[in-house]
Structure 1
Amino acid sequence: MSSQEISEAESLRHEQDAHGTEVAEHPFADPGLPPHKPRKQDIDERAARRSERAVALLFTVSMLATIGFIASFVIFPVDKIIYVWPLGHVSATNLSLGLTLGIALFCIGAGAVHWGRTLMSDEEMVDERHAVAATPEVKAKVMADFADGARESAIGRRPLIRNTMFGALAMVPLSGVVLLRELGPLPEDKLRKTLWSKGKQLINMNTNEPLRPEDVAVGSLTFAKPEGLEEHAEDFNNQIAKAALMIVRIQPDDIKDRRQLEWSHDGIVAFSKICTHVGCPISLYEQQTHHVLCPCHQSTFDLSDGARVIFGPAGHPLPQLRIGVNDKGYLEALGDFDVPVGPAFWERG
């Protein structure tokens, strides 16, 4: 091989090495951005206004759907069942709430998408990566870009879109506010009062008969309910959960609390059966110590000393019911409990 041939071979090898290095560093060529093609809305104001009205219509439908959501919540009873093909028998409340809320959210999203695709600027721009910490120049550029975006979005020139969008976004959260109402009925003063009142007889829970003092033996534990509360009543469970009463007869000399003695009759004391910890029913009585035990968390109360807490997580004594005997010889209430029954929500009021 001649020296010229050797020189040409080396030159070709160097070119191949250089080309290979370039390909390794940049295996895919940058195709660049395609030429920008204006949309119909960019060159035809009538088309732009049609898109504007379409977006406003979607936002308006969202507002109407939110109003429909609230109206459905108010109009349809919880137990209302309707037949809808092909779903079959469904809850009118669930169907109407889901349908109206879905339409409200969908129309906001569809309106925003249609706005962005037809009226906002769609020209692609290349911005090289930069350091995480922005320089003052970059910050100024960002603010300028933001101002350009606001101007190009036409939000200032198209108040119909702006106002209906703000209206839709402002009304959708009302759906969540209305749902808070479903957390439960407003308690008002229901938790502070029970069915017990002056003159109501104590009815034995087992025999469903009025109690006489001689029916309560020393050391026994008897459960009672207010006169007029029947087990077949629609709200029986709600009422007995507050009015359940336990009656114990203690020797008057063994009662330590003076007020408890005044509120009793011949050693017969009446206390709420509902534990002041989390509201469990108390049913375990130890007659020698006069202690009652809550089976849920072992809170223990001394019925000979104002039902004060002697053990466990309960924070308050059991409420006492003042009792007496009517002219027929039956035990009766002389009022309601001195404090609300159950967990001590009322002390944080």
Structure 2
Amino acid sequence: MSTHHDPSTDLTTQRGEDGTLPERFEDPGHPEHHDRQGDHDPKANKRAERQVVVLFTISILGTIGAIVAYALVPPGETVGSMRLSNLLLGLGLFLGLAGIGVAAVHWAKSLMNDHEKSEERHAIRSEDSVRVKAVEALREGAKDSAIGRRGVLKGAMVTSLALFPLSIAVPLVGNIGGDWDVSRSKRTIWKRGTRLVLDPTARPIKAADVTIGSAFHVIPEGLEELDHPLNEKAKAVVLMVRMDPRDLRSEQGEGWSYDGIVAFSKICTHVGCPVALYEQQTHHILCPCHQSTFDAADGAKVVFGPAKRPLPQLPITVDDEGYLVAQDGFSEPIGPSFWERLT
């Protein structure tokens, strides 16, 4: 809808004869108020109230749905089951919170007093008489909104607000225990003698098959036989590279690499993204999330980016058949630096 422009309201047309602006401008007052349909039509007012109740009810159902999804649709061990569980949980949380938000906005726009009011600026602490009037105005507003007579609406609002925190609290309480044991993230299934196998084919790797300049994504052998292979894989993934042994500038101890082959945790020490990019000319390992860069030739020390410590190194050697195996677990806890770390 187009509006008529009044040139007299422009600052440029209100200058005095000397070209200066006036010290004060006249108060234009409030714009013309337009009544809503519900202000005169009781049926329209009641219809708006029912709409708000429906929105709060959607929030209630969304919260209940999130709790049911958490209880009946666990993540499982497959990508499909994890996707379904996250989808249902997310949908329930969305409906639970969005229902409250949209209901509050619709309530304010359609049922509450929409007359604009203003008052002159005054000291922050008003006089007692003014404070009494303010309380009276609040009471008048509550009376004007007819909140006391809208029992169903109040019930729907209180129920939705009371239930929604459960959609967050139930999963949190349900996960207290093993999943909250941060020390579990410090331990992986790597141990002495565990073979390095390719991800995802699980084929063992012979040192003779690893050429200089190559990089391999590696997991521990026997991962698929565990009860929770995806959880363990997320902690144990490794990036293995081979370079000329003469390029190695430092190691964490004797025999940590084998003939120029080094292996480091793929979990970035910044926020846990996978560091999966290797540049063979510089021997740099790059995290694509926030560009933390680690020098594979120098113990995966940080050379750029927000990461604060090197990637943990996996000490490796070969077995009697020439296959690459771990000499032990990682040199230190894997993952972001802000995780609790005990010595």
Q: How many aligned residue pairs are there?
A: 263
Q: Which SS does the other structure have where 1:346 is aligned? A: coil
Identity %: 28
Asked if the contact 2:265/2:312 (under 8 Å) is kept, the reply is yes
Amino acid across the alignment from 1:318: L
**130-139 vs 97-106, which moves further:** 97-106
User: What residue in structure 1 maps to residue 237 of structure 2?
Assistant: 243
Distance verdict in 2 for CA 1:335–1:147, change over 3 Å: same
Q: Is the 8 A contact 2:300 2:310 kept in 1?
A: yes
Structure 2 equivalent of residue 133 of structure 1 = 122
Task: Letter of the 2:220 partner, please give it.
Answer: P
Corresponding position of 1:226: 220
Match of 1:167 in 2: 158
The residue number in structure 2 matching 1:35 is none
Alignment of 1:135-154 (within 5 A): 136=127, 137-147=129-139
Cα drift, residue 72 of structure 1 = 1.4
Aligned equivalent of 1:203:
197
Corresponding position of 1:73: 66
Q: Which residue identity lines up with residue 317 of structure 1 in the other structure?
A: P
Native 8 Å contact 1:216 1:249 kept in 2:
no
- Is the aligned partner of 1:281 residue 2:276? yes
What are the superposed Cα offsets for residues 56-103 of structure 1, whole Å, 9 maximum, x if unpaired?
A: 9x86x77765442222124345979xxxxxxxxxx8778877777777
What corresponds to 1:83 in structure 2? none
SS in 1 for 2:242: strand
- Matching residue of 2:295: 301
Distance 1:108 1:152, change over 3 A: closer
- The answer to whether the 8 A contact 2:223-2:232 is kept is no
Q: Deviations over 1:243-286 (max 9, x none)?
A: 133143665996644x4324345665432355545543132234
Structure 1 pair 138–222 and aligned structure 2 pair: CA distance change class (3 A)? closer
SS class of match (1:283): strand
Answer whether contact 2:112 2:144 (CA < 8 A) is retained.
Answer: no
Report Cα offsets for 1:290-321 as digits up to 9, x if no partner.
x5113554825152x43323x32243222111
Q: Tell me: CA distance 1:146–1:263, structure 2 relative to 1, closer, same or farther (3 Å).
A: same
Amino acid at match of 1:70: T
Structure 2: which 5+ runs fail to align? 1-39, 82-86, 173-178
Structure 1 unmatched ranges of 5 or more? 1-38, 42-50, 81-90, 118-123
CA distance in 2 between partners of 1:298 and 1:64 (Å) = 47
Alignment of 1:54-69 (within 5 A): 65-69=58-62
| TM-score computed with the length of structure 1 as normaliser | 0.49
TM-score scaled by length of structure 2: 0.50
SS at the partner of 1:225? Answer: strand
Coordinate RMSD, CA, aligned: 5.7
